[in-house]
Amino acid sequence: MKNLTFIFLFLTAFTFNACSSAANENNSGDVNAEGQVNKLTAESFQKLVWDYKASPQEWVFSGDQPAIIDFYADWCRPCKMVAPIMDELSKEYKGKVRIYKVNTDEQRELAGLFNINSIPALLFIPKTGKPQMSVGAMQKPAYVDLIKNVLVVK
């Protein structure tokens, strides 16, 4: 009986620990941390990406590095397949590309701003020029190609 209790407690602790840690997602308030995928709100989006309220008719990128924004939802299976790829890319392109994520259920204003009708949707934002949207889950090499060709990062 003691062994069964110990196993139950161990599994409960393991499950709680696994469910409570989000693998490289930065929710600590340091929204511009490098090498991590950072969650954006409408407020942080306006500071770090584009102040669409100050210049609603013209795209003015305010970031210091090219960026990728992953529009996702927690219930979306393809979004869950893209998330670990974005985690890997955030580490591989640390100091070269910032990777953000926007929960479309929580940030409806941002989803509406970009007419997000299907997720996952990824917005590739070069340092200069217009951003480009990619819809649907892809394999990592396709995202690397987009980083090299759209963001012009080597």
pLDDT given for residue 151 in this prediction: 95
Domain count, the chain: 1
Give dist(CA 137, CA 80) in Å, integer: 9
Asked whether residue 12 is assigned to any structural domain, the reply reads no
Asked whether residue 136 is assigned to any structural domain, the reply reads yes
pLDDT given for residue 32 in this prediction: 64
Asked whether residue 82 is assigned to any structural domain, the reply reads yes
Asked whether residue 53 is assigned to any structural domain, the reply reads yes
Asked whether residue 14 is assigned to any structural domain, the reply reads no
User: 111: domain range?
Assistant: 33-149
pLDDT given for residue 11 in this prediction: 40
Q: What is the pLDDT of residues 50-74, one digit of tens each?
A: 999 999 999 999 999 999 999 999 9
Residues 6+ apart with CB under 8 A from 39: 25, 26, 27, 31, 100, 101, 102, 103
Catalytic residues: 76, 79
pLDDT given for residue 31 in this prediction: 62
Say if pTM beats, i.e. exceeds, 0.75.
yes
**Which CATH number do you get for residue 92?**
3.40.30.10
Asked whether residue 126 is assigned to any structural domain, the reply reads yes
pLDDT given for residue 48 in this prediction: 96
Asked whether residue 115 is assigned to any structural domain, the reply reads yes
Residue ranges in the chain modelled with pLDDT below 50: 1-25, 27-29
